[in-house]
C-alpha cells in the first residue's frame, strides 16, 4: 500500500511539471503574437495547431498503449516533447516558432493518455471518479503554478526566458519520470487493432467526448486565448493579463478538489453537467461586454467550474464501463474527439473576429455551450425514463 501511495505521489509530481512546461507561455501567447502584428487568423492557426497534432496522435498512442502496455516510456517521451516544444519557441520567437512549438506540445499532450490511465490503474474500481478528479487537479495545479510564474516574471525576463523555464520543467519532469515503476507488460492474448477501435462505437463514450469537445474548445479559444486579447486591448500590464489566467486556474484547482470529494449519482451528474454548460454560455456572452478588467477577472471564475468539475465528470462518464484492457484506446478516442474542439474553435474565433468582430465570435461560442447543455439534458432525461 505504501509503495503504491509513493508511486501515486511521484506520478502526480510529474503531472504538475508536465503541465507547467506545457502552459507557462499560454497567458501571454496571444498578446505577444498580437504585439508582433500577427493577424487574428494566424493566431487562431497557431493556437489550433496544438489541437491538430493531438488529434493526429491520440488514438494511435491509445491503441499502442493497450497492445504493448508501457506507460512509463510514453510518459518519458511526453516530458521530452514538452521541453523540446519550448526550445523551438526560444530559438524562433515568432509565429513560425510558436507554430512548431504548439505542434510539438500537441504531440506531448497526446501522451496524456498514459499519465491518466496509469494513475487510474493505481486505484481500485470504486475510486475511479476520485482518481480522475485528483489527476486533473494535479493537471490544473501545474497550469496554475505556470501562470503564476509567467505573470510574475514575464515583464522582467520576457517571452524567450519564460520558454526556457518550460524547457527546465520538462527536463526535471523527465528525470523524475525515469524513477517510475517499470510498467512494461507482455500480453498473452493482446486485442487486435479492430477490437480496440471497436470501443469507439460505444454511444456514451462518443456523446461525452462531444460534450468535452465543447468544454475544451471554449477553454482553449476563449479562456486561454482571446479573452487575454480583450484584456490586453484595454491596456493593462502583462501582470494583469496573467492575473486573469491565475484567477481562472485557482478556480479550476478549487473545483477539481470539490469534484474529488463529491459523491456523484445520476441526478447530481445531470445537474452539474447541464448547469456548467449554461454557466459557460453566460461567460462567453458577457466577456466581450465586460466594461472593465475587474469584471473580466470575476467572470474568469466561471470557466474554472468547467475545467475543475465539468471536465472531470465528463471524463469519468465517458470511461465508465470500459474494460481495463481497452481503457487506453477509449481514452485516446475521448481525447482525440475533444482535441477537435481545441483545434477548430480557436481557428473559428480567429476567422470570425477578422471578418466580423470578437464580440460575435464569443456569442457564437455561447450558442455552442447552450447546445452542450441541451444535449446533456436530453441524454440524462432519456436515461431517467429508461
193-206 pLDDT, tens digit each: 888 888 889 999 99
Cα-based distances in Å from 306 to 60, 220, 285, 300: 27, 12, 15, 11
Beta carbons of 56 and 335 less than 8 angstroms apart: no
Q: What is the pLDDT of residue 379?
A: 92
Q: What is the three-class DSSP state of 92? A: coil
Enumerate domains of the chain plus CATH numbers.
2-181+193-385 (1.20.1250.20)
The string of pLDDT tens digits covering residues 336-369 is 898 888 888 888 888 888 888 888 999 999 999 9
Q: What is the pLDDT of residue 159?
A: 94
Residue 140 clears pLDDT 80, i.e. is over it = yes
The string of pLDDT tens digits covering residues 267-298 is 888 889 999 999 999 999 999 999 888 999 99
Going by C-alpha positions, the residue among 293, 250, 271 that lies closest to residue 384 is 271
More confident residue, 183 or 135: 135
Q: What is the pLDDT of residue 126?
A: 65
pTM: 0.81
Mean pLDDT along residues 124-134: 76
Rounded CA-CA distance 382/124 in Å is 30
Q: pLDDT-derived band of residue 384, with 50, 70 and 90 as boundaries?
A: low
The string of pLDDT tens digits covering residues 192-242 is 888 888 888 999 999 999 999 999 999 888 887 788 888 878 776 667 777
Q: What is the pLDDT of residue 184?
A: 67
Nearby residues of 57 by Cβ (< 8 Å), 6 or more positions away: 106, 107, 110
Q: What is the pLDDT of residue 287?
A: 93
Q: What is the pLDDT of residue 3?
A: 62
Amino acid at each position: 500500500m505504501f509503495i503504491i501511495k509513493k508511486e501515486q505521489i511521484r506520478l502526480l509530481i510529474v503531472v504538475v511539471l508536465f503541465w507547467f512546461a506545457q502552459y507557462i507561455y499560454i497567458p501571454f501567447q496571444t498578446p505577444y503574437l498580437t504585439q508582433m502584428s500577427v493577424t487574428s487568423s494566424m493566431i487562431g492557426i497557431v493556437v489550433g495547431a496544438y489541437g491538430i497534432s493531438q488529434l493526429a496522435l491520440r488514438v494511435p498512442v491509445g491503441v499502442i498503449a493497450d497492445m504493448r502496455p508501457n506507460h512509463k516510456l510514453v510518459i518519458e517521451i511526453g516530458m521530452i516533447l514538452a521541453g523540446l516544444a519550448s526550445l523551438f519557441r526560444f530559438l524562433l520567437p515568432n509565429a513560425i516558432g510558436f507554430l512548431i512549438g504548439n505542434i510539438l506540445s500537441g504531440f506531448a499532450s497526446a501522451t496524456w493518455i498514459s499519465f491518466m490511465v496509469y494513475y487510474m490503474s493505481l486505484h481500485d474500481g470504486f475510486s475511479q471518479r476520485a482518481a480522475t478528479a485528483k489527476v486533473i487537479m494535479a493537471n490544473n495545479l501545474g497550469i496554475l503554478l505556470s501562470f503564476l510564474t509567467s505573470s510574475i516574471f514575464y515583464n522582467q525576463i520576457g517571452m524567450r526566458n519564460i520558454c526556457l523555464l518550460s524547457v527546465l520543467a520538462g527536463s526535471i519532469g523527465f528525470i523524475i519520470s525515469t524513477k517510475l515503476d517499470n510498467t512494461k507488460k507482455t500480453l498473452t492474448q493482446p486485442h487486435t487493432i479492430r477490437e480496440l477501435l471497436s470501443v469507439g462505437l460505444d454511444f456514451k463514450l462518443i456523446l461525452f467526448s462531444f460534450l468535452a469537445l465543447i468544454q475544451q474548445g471554449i477553454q482553449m479559444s476563449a479562456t486561454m486565448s482571446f479573452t487575454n486579447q480583450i484584456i490586453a486591448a484595454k491596456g493593462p500590464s502583462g501582470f494583469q493579463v496573467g492575473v486573469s489566467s491565475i484567477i481562472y486556474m485557482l478556480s479550476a484547482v478549487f473545483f477539481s478538489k470539490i469534484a474529488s470529494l463529491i459523491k456523484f449519482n445520476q441526478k447530481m451528474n445531470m445537474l452539474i453537467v447541464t448547469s456548467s454548460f449554461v454557466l459557460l454560455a453566460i461567460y462567453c456572452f458577457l466577456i466581450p461586454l465586460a466594461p472593465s478588467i475587474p469584471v473580466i477577472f470575476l467572470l474568469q471564475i466561471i470557466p474554472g467550474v468547467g475545467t475543475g468539475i465539468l471536465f472531470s465528470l465528463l471524463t469519468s462518464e465517458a470511461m465508465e464501463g470500459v474494460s481495463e484492457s481497452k481503457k487506453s484506446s477509449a481514452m485516446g478516442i475521448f481525447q482525440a474527439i475533444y482535441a477537435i474542439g481545441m483545434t477548430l474553435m480557436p481557428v473559428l474565433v480567429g476567422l470570425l473576429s477578422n471578418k466580423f468582430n470578437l464580440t460575435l465570435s464569443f456569442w457564437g461560442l455561447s450558442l455552442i455551450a447552450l447546445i452542450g447543455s441541451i444535449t446533456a439534458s436530453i441524454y440524462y432525461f432519456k436515461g431517467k425514463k429508461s
